Structure formats: structure tokens, C-alpha cells
Structure 1
Amino acid sequence: MSVVLKNLYHGYFWIFDELSDVRTSNLLFSSPFSIIAVMVIYVHAVKIWGPKLMENRQPYNIKNIIMTYDILQILLNTYISVQALRQVAIIQIDCGAIDWSDNPKSLEQLSIMKYFFGLKLVDLVETIFFVLRKSYRQISFLHVYHHAGMVLCSYLGFRFFGGGLSLWLPMLNGFVHVVMFVYYFLTAVDSSWKQSTAFKRTLTQIQLIQFGVFIVVYGSVFFRKCEYPSFACYLFVPQNVFMILLFGDFYLKTYVFSKSKNVKNAK
């Protein structure tokens, strides 16, 4: 038993001291235990503690808070996406290596990954809003897993793969979130937007395309000589395949099978 614990101890320091980006070792949330704590608290808060707290309470009217949050998300995601696009445009777009040095360009790329990680933590607040509004139907496995998965992926990107090809993640995901939060803001201003099935269907399609692009971008590393760490792709590719399966299942059930069922019932 002592040998196992010793190996785990040395393995931990090997991963987080030798393999990780030394430029991030002293930053907030650099420890994996902090991320584990955030994930555990998040899941318990939205699935157990929050619903129990709201059990005998009326849903809160937080429309103005949500609208402010949506605007903030639009601005922050626009900034992150544009900054990442600027960097992707000047690296080898399909096989960008990570520059581990302290030169200004590499530090700027690392900063983008760091801010993107912070933004994924801010995304968790959205689920808290669902709890306060008692919109429990929206706190699905897909929703919770997606948010938790993005926190983990952005953490790995910031802690281990801070630059190069990793910038595709904030570039595309930031753009998707701009579109998404514009829609959320519109629904908060005018509830009739919630009835727009076409907009919601298009938004899901954009998300599916995003996951597909990630699979192609990171999967291509396996088939070419590329200085970008293939280890990152072994994490990012399966994650995005799983997301396509989850979102694809949601898309089919919501916009394909339900439509066919409605047409059949109308006959």
C-alpha cells in the first residue's frame, strides 16, 4: 500500500510540476484539487443543495440580473474570440505548436487561455440562475456535463497547453457563446423569442458544427508530424465526440423525432 501511495505522490508531482506549464504554477486555480472542489460544489449546488433550498420558496424574479449577465457574457466572449482569432491567424493554423517561452506573443496566447478558463467558471453561474428560477428541467445531464466538461478542458488548456492549436477552443467556443447569449438576451427582453424553434435549432446546429471542427482540428494531429502535444488530442477528441453524441441525441429528440410525431398526430 505504501508503494502505491508513494507512486501516486510522485506521479502527481511529475504531472503537475514537470509536465504542466511552469508559467501557470503559481496562478489561482493552478492546483487540480481546486478544480475538483469547484466541480463537486457545483454539482451538489445545482442538483441537491439548491433545489432543497428553493423547495418552499417561490421562483426569484432575476430578469434584470440575467440580462446584465447575458450582456457581460456577450462582451467577454466577443473579446476572447477575437483575441484568439488574432493569434490563430499568425500561427500555423492547422498544427500550431505551443511556445513555452516568456516572449510577449506566447504570454499573450497563455493569457487568452487563462481568461477563457476564467470565463468557463463564470458560465457555471447560469445554472445557479436556473435553480433560483426553479427551472429544473433545464438542469439536465447534458447541461451539467457540458459546463463541467468545458471547465475541465479549459483548465487543461490553460495549465498544460497554453497556446498554439489550443487557441481554436476559445476562438470557436467564444463565438458560439456570443450567438447563444444574444439569443438568451433576446428571450429575456421579449419572451416571444422563446417560441422561435428555428433559432434554437440553428443554435444547436452551430454547437454540433463546433464539436465537429474540434474533432477535425485536434484529430488531424494524429496523422501528421506536428509539434502540438498529441496527448492533448487524446483528451479533446473523445470529449468532443461524446459532446456530439449528447447534443446529437438532444437535437434528434427535440427537432426531428418530435416534429415527425407532431406531423403524424396531426393526420
Structure 2
Amino acid sequence: MALILKGAVKLYFHLNEEIADHRTQNWPLMRTPWPGIALLVFYLMTVLNWLPKYMENRPACDLRKVIALYNALQIACCVYVLYQGLKLGWLSHYKLICNPLEYGPQADEYAWKVCYTYFLIKVVDLFDTVFFVLRKKQNQVSFLHVYHHFGMVAVAWGMVKWLPGGHTSFLVVVNSFVHIIMYMYYLLTTWDDSYKQSVWWKKHVTQIQILQFSILFIHFCVLAFAKECPFPREPAYILIPQNLFMVILFSDFYYRTYIKPNKTIKNK
């Protein structure tokens, strides 16, 4: 038992101190994993237990104006991160395959303006679920929804903690672009209910999500199998199954929502 505890302490020190990026260590929420873990546990307890119980005998909240402002803010933040990601990396000197983690003033700027800002956006994304519960849309608090939001906070934290830039940060650019489209759709639905009834819009937003995770799956496979890659391969061993799992979950959702009902109607 003592040997196991000693090994666990050694592993924790290795992950939290030895291989952590020294530039980001003292940024808020980055020194140790415990504040982030506490935040995610609080999120789960809030949206799955505490808040649903609180809303059980209360009417749904009218959050139309709040959500409209929230969606507009999300669009602005995602545009900022996408712009900085392209300007400081992917449209200037970053290469698509095995781009190494860089150091220097511009790399520090990339770590702060792109990776860390993206992490903060993923934390703010957790309010999506809170809004569902307050509006008594508990059916939308699905495993896919909660797992996706939980997982993206964890992935973004790990990127800032260990590798704030380089190959894996491609997901920031791709995901920010997708979220601009997604939150523009959400913003439209707050102003015009007809968009909520439009299967065309919802269907293509889901298709874009599937395409996103498929692209990222391939991108991390390249990292795992490319020869003489100057970027660490270890993140690929986590992000390959993660993105494959997301492709499967979103594809299953797409099938059950848009394909299966049409088959049922045709059979009838």
C-alpha cells in the first residue's frame, strides 16, 4: 500500500510539476488540477441534482434576453480566438502536421490569447446546461450534452497545462469556428421561433459537429503515426479515442433524430 501511495505521489508530482509548461503554471485555475476538478464536480451536482430539485415545483424561467446576450458574447469570444489562432499560428507559420510546441514572445502570446482564452470559453460553456435546467428542458441534459461539456473543459485545461500550442491546438481553431456557427443558430432561435422548427438548420448544425470530430480524429491519428514527429505523441492516445467516441455519439444522435423518424414514416 505504501508503495502504491508513493508511486501515486511521484506520478502526481511528475504530471503537475515536472512536465507542466512553466509559462502557464501560475495562471488562474492552472497551478493544480483540484480547482478544476471541484468546478466540474460542482457543475455535475448542480445540473443533475441540485438545480433540477430546485426547479421541480417552480415555473420555467424566461431567459430569452439573457440567452440572446450570452450567445452574442459566445460568438464574439469564439471569433476572437479563431482570429488569434489563425493570426499567431495556423495562417502564419504553423504547419498542419506535427507542428512543434514553440517558445518565445509570439508563442507566449499564442498560449494566452488562444489556448487559455479557449479554456475559459469552455468553462463558460457550462452555462448551456444551466440554462436548460432553468428553462425546465431537462430532456436536453443528455449524456452526450453533459459528457461533451465536461470533456471539453478537461481537454482544454490539459492543453493549457502541458502543451499550450503546436499540433494539438488545431482543435481550438476548428472548434471555435464550429461554435461560431452553432451560437449564431442559437442566437437566431432566440429572436425567431421559426428557426427552432426548422429541421434543416438543426440537421446541418449536427452534421458540422460530426465533421468537426472526424477531422480532429484524423488530425490526432496523424500525430500518433507520423514518423519523427517533434511534438509529443502522448496527447494523441487520449484524443483519438475521445474524438472517435464523440463521432459515435453525435452520429447516433443524428440517426435517432433525423434518419430513424423518416424511416418509420415511410414504413407506415
**TM-score, normalised with respect to structure 2:** 0.96
Q: CA deviation at 1:74?
A: 0.6
Letter in 1 for 2:198: S
Give the corresponding residue for 2:162.
160
Give the corresponding residue for 1:106.
107
**Alignment equivalent of 2:171, drawn from 165, 169, 172:** 169
**Identical columns (%):** 37
Give the corresponding residue for 2:195.
193
Letter in 2 for 1:33: W
Within 2, Cα distance between the matches of 1:166 and 1:43? Answer: 27
Q: CA deviation at 1:67?
A: 0.3
Give the corresponding residue for 2:208.
206
Letter in 2 for 1:173: N
Give the corresponding residue for 1:123.
125
Deviations 1:131-152 (A, max 9, x none): 1101101100000000001001
- Compare 233-242 and 28-37 and name the one that shifted more: 28-37
Deviations 1:90-141 (A, max 9, x none): 2122221001x3x111102211101100000000011111111011011000
Give the corresponding residue for 2:185.
183
Give the corresponding residue for 1:55.
56
Deviations 1:26-69 (A, max 9, x none): 11111111121111111110010010011111111111000000
- Superposed structure 1 runs of 4+ greater than 3 Å apart: none
Give the corresponding residue for 1:71.
72
Map 1:1-267; keep pairs closer than 5 Å.
1-30=1-30, 31-86=32-87, 87-89=89-91, 90-99=93-102, 101=103, 103-111=104-112, 112-224=114-226, 225-265=228-268
Letter in 2 for 1:59: A
Q: Which 5+ residue runs of structure 1 have no aligned equivalent? A: none
Within 2, Cα distance between the matches of 1:186 and 1:170? Answer: 24
Contact in 1 for aligned 2:223/2:236 (Cα 8 Å): yes
Q: How many residues align?
A: 263
Q: CA RMSD in A?
A: 1.0
Within 2, Cα distance between the matches of 1:193 and 1:160? Answer: 41
Q: CA deviation at 1:166?
A: 2.2
Q: Which 5+ residue runs of structure 2 have no aligned equivalent? A: none
Q: CA deviation at 1:223?
A: 2.2
Contact in 1 for aligned 2:216/2:243 (Cα 8 Å): yes
Contact in 1 for aligned 2:224/2:237 (Cα 8 Å): no
Q: CA deviation at 1:22?
A: 1.3
Within 2, Cα distance between the matches of 1:167 and 1:32? Answer: 20
Q: CA deviation at 1:20?
A: 1.2
Q: Secondary structure at the match of 2:23?
A: helix
Within 1, Cα distance between the matches of 2:191 and 2:160? Answer: 35
Contact in 2 for aligned 1:221/1:230 (Cα 8 Å): yes
